[in-house]
Amino acid sequence: MSKKEEILEVAKVHFAKKGYDKTSLDDVAKDLDITKSAFYYHFKNKQTIYNCVFKREFKKIDISKITSLKEYVFTLADFFEINSEIRQMFSKELSCKGKHLEDETIEIISKTIQKLKEIIPENINPFFIQTTIMSVLINYKNTINLRKKVVNITCLDPETCPNSKIKDIKEDLYKMIQNYIKGEK
């Protein structure tokens, strides 16, 4: 792995844990045992590193192979299940209205909604569907500890409650979106 890739990997962990504003390049440099000047050899600034993390990860989604709504939902579900740091970063970024994302990053992320627009009926708002999918996937996984507490407080049988894996909700999410689309036609 190149030094640039190492920086992105360690920075991704810090951004996921602390968010953009509370992540210090000094802490990332310390974890990598490099100087801050080594960052600036590879990256212009912290925002550049942050955006490179998003771009690199979202480019891994092969949207060209997606031909159906089910594939779309399952692809995003698998992406967020595998990429927990990106899921956490995305959640934090949504809460601050995307203020740290550069136009090029937004363009790369937006390729997913462009694909969604191709596979759903014209009369359906792709932003509504995309927001629903992303919100469910991100919040479901990010609320695992809260849901465990709720199960304990409410004395619900944990066997009847779905577990924390996104893969366990992707079929339900797909059916929910599909039913919404059928109802809107």
Instruction: State the pLDDT at residue 169.
Output: 84
pLDDT in tens, 8-60: 999 999 999 999 999 999 999 999 999 888 888 999 999 999 999 999 999 99
CATH number of 1-58: 1.10.10.60
- Residue 121, phi then psi, degrees to nearest 5: -60, 150
As a whole number of angstroms, the distance between CA 31 and CA 11 comes to 9
pTM of the predicted model as reported, rounded to 2 decimal places: 0.85
Taken in order 27, 32, 35, 41, is the CA torsion positive or negative? negative
Nearest to 68 by CA among 115, 106, 32: 115
pLDDT in tens, 104-149: 999 999 999 999 999 999 999 999 999 999 999 988 888 777 877 7
The answer to whether 178 and 133 have CB atoms below 8 angstroms apart is no
Angle at 156 between CA 150 and CA 162, to 5 degrees: 80
Cβ atoms within 10 Å of 12's Cβ, excluding its own:
24
C-alpha radius of gyration, the chain, whole number: 18
